[in-house]
Amino acid sequence: MTSDSIKNNNRNKNNSKNTTQWFSNITLLRESQIMKIHYITGVGALFVVAIHIMMRLIMPFNMSLEFENVILNYKNVFYALLLESILILIAIHGFNGLRVILLEIRQTQIWERAVNILVIVAMIGIIAYGTRTIIIANGFSLG
C-alpha cells in the first residue's frame, strides 16, 4: 500500500459516501437494518430448511425425486408455502452476503454501484422465477 493509493482512497471517500447514501435511498434501509434482515433470514432459513429435510426423509430418496412425487409436493399448499419461504429467505440472505463479500474486495464508486444494482436485480429475479415455478407446478395438478 503506497501513499498514492491512500490519497486516491481519500478522494474516493466522499464519492463512496454518496454511493452509500444512494443505495440507502433506494433500499430505504440503513446498514444495521440490512444486517438485521440478514441475521433473521439466516436463522429463518435454517429453521425452514430443517423442516424441508425432515419432510424429505418421509419417503426413500429415489422415490422423492420422481416427477409425479415432486408435483404432488406442490399440490400441498403448506408445502408450497414452505418452499416459497425457503426461496425468499435464502435469496435475501445469500445475495446480501455476496454483496458484502464483493464490497470488501474493491471500493471504487463504479464497482459499488454495479454490485448493489446486480444484487438487487438478481435477488428479485431469482425470487420471481422461483415463485413462477411454484405457481405453475401447483397449477399443474389442475391441468
Partner 1 sequence: MNIFKKDKRKEIKNESPLEIKRSNISTTTSSNKSSVKLRVFRINAVQNPNDVPHFDEFHVPVKRWTTVLDALLDAKSYQDSSIGIRYSCRMASCGSCGMKINGIPRLACYTKISDLDTNTITCEPLPNFPYIRDLVTDFSQFFNHHRSVMPFIQNKKADIPDVNELSEYEQSPQDLDKFLQFSYCIKCGLCYSACPTVATDLKFPGPQALSQAYRYFADSRDSDKSNRLKVIDTSHGIWRCHFAGSCSNVCPKGVDPALGIQLLRSHLLGISNSEKKIAKLQDRSLNSYREEEEEKEKEKEEEKE
Binder among 57, 60, 104, 142 for partner 1 (CB under 8 A): 104
Q: Is 14 in the site for partner 1 (CB under 8 A)?
A: no
74 touches 138 (CB < 8 A): yes
Q: At what angle do helices 77-105 and 109-140 cross, to 10 degrees?
A: 170
Query: What single-letter DSSP state applies at residue 58?
Result: T
> Binding string to partner 1 for residues 55 to 94, with x set by CB under 8 A, is what?
----------------------------------------
- Does residue number 25 form part of the binding site for partner 1 (CB under 8 A)? no
* Subset of 112-131 contacting partner 1 (CB under 8 A): 112
Number of residues that bind partner 1 (CB under 8 A): 24
Rounded-to-integer distance, Cα 74 and Cα 83, Å: 9
The distance of closest approach from Cβ of residue 106 to partner 1 in the complex, given in angstroms and rounded to an integer, is 9
Q: State yes or no: residue 9 binds partner 1 (CB under 8 A).
A: yes
Q: Three cell numbers at 31? A: 446498514
Rounded CA-CA distance 85/116 in Å is 23
Quick one: 19 exposed, middle or buried, by C-beta within 10 A (0-12, 13-18, 19+)? buried
Q: What are the residues binding partner 1 (CB under 8 A)?
A: 1-3, 5-6, 9-10, 13, 16-17, 20, 23, 30-32, 35-36, 39, 100, 103-105, 107, 112
